[in-house]
Amino acid sequence: MERRTIGAGALAVGAVGLGCMPMHWAYTGSRQRGDASLRTVHAALDQGSSLLDTADMYGPFTNELLIGRVLRERRKEAFVSTKCGLLVGEQHIVANGRPGYVKRACDASLRRLQTDTIDLYQLHRADPEVPVEETWGAMAELVTAGKVRALGLCAVGARAGRRAGARTGLHDATIRQLERVQQVFPVTAVQAELSVWSPEALESLLPWCAARGVGLLAAMPLGNGFLTGTLTPGQGFEPDDLRARHPRFTAEMMAANQPLVVGLRRVAERHGATPAQVALAWVLAQGPQVVPIPGAKRERWARENAGAAGVRLTPEDLADIAALPPAQGSWD
């Protein structure tokens, strides 16, 4: 698989990574048997998808424990990205950016991952009660201590509190936060949602990253599975699946957004590919520092996603995708 570099430190990773969250969090059947998840992670590494993206809150903790079992055998083949800053309670998820907590969380993640060093340590969310510079300073100390190689910031929650229907300025607050932490210690990567049906990161966040040599880890590049073309309007989701409460996954909105899947499938037919692979190839085409991290629970999906690295979209393909109607339905 093609390799890409992220950050000023030129950290090399496979062009398509693996989002490990669905194995233990947020989707129906996410608490699947460990052996199935292990096979999925091994399949991804076999294909060159070296970036394994996890977090201490997934499970919580079980996702990191799973990745640790893989790293015990294949540490040199993997690039490990995990996150801190969110605590899962019985009723709510709360942010914790206190320096002492961040350092304890890192040590706990290292134990679960069975490794001496985390390749990329990301702040999952900033704590509104703690200046982000203090949190980032504690994370920088982890780099100095040799426990972490590089730091990143996760901006997937940027939609929280955003005015309903607003389409511009989504990442303005994130960029302001990035400017602040850059004064403390370099940002290697930003994780943010980017897909054919959610392209807002192209407005300002990706240009900001490109101008500063910062990598962008594209989260949810398959639109929570919608862009794969395997979901049908009205199919319904179990209560523990985040899509059961997602405005774009009502039967009405799924039907309204079918033209996106039809357009991706049309392009896919030209390449002997799948709609999912074209959706990922579109993300890859947005810049050499962009690395999509599609989630996968099954081996077949990990292998299919990795295959997107070999799909080269033509100017005609990109123009056809650009001409597709914008996705319908609010995210707020």
Q: Which residues are catalytic?
A: 58
In three-state form (DSSP H/G/I as H, E/B as E, the rest C), the secondary structure along 18-53 is: EECHHHCCCCCCCCCCHHHHHHHHHHHHHCCCCEEE
In the 8-state DSSP scheme, what is residue 201? Answer: G
Apex CA 306: angle with CA 213 and CA 5, to 5°? 15
The residue length of the chain stands at 332
CA 131 remoteness from chain centre: 25
How far apart CA 332 and CA 329 sit, in angstroms, is: 9
* Pairing mode, strands 215-219 and 189-193: parallel
Q: Which two tokens stand for residue 111?
A: 């134990």
The H-assigned helical ranges of 145-274 are 172-182, 205-212, 251-256, 258-271
Give the SS3 label for residue 109.
helix
Q: What one-letter code names the amino acid at 33?
A: R
Please, which residues have CB within 8 angstroms of residue 230's CB and are 6 or more apart in sequence?
none
Q: Please work out, in degrees rounded to the nearest 5, the angle formed at the alpha carbon of residue 207 by the alpha carbons of 203 and 208.
A: 110
**Torsion angle, alpha carbons of 229, 230, 232, 236, to 10:** -130
The position carrying tokens 């794969």 is 228
Region for 161 from its dihedrals, namely left if φ exceeds 0, alpha if ψ lies in -120 to 50, beta otherwise: left
What's the token pair of residue 187?
Answer: 């940002």
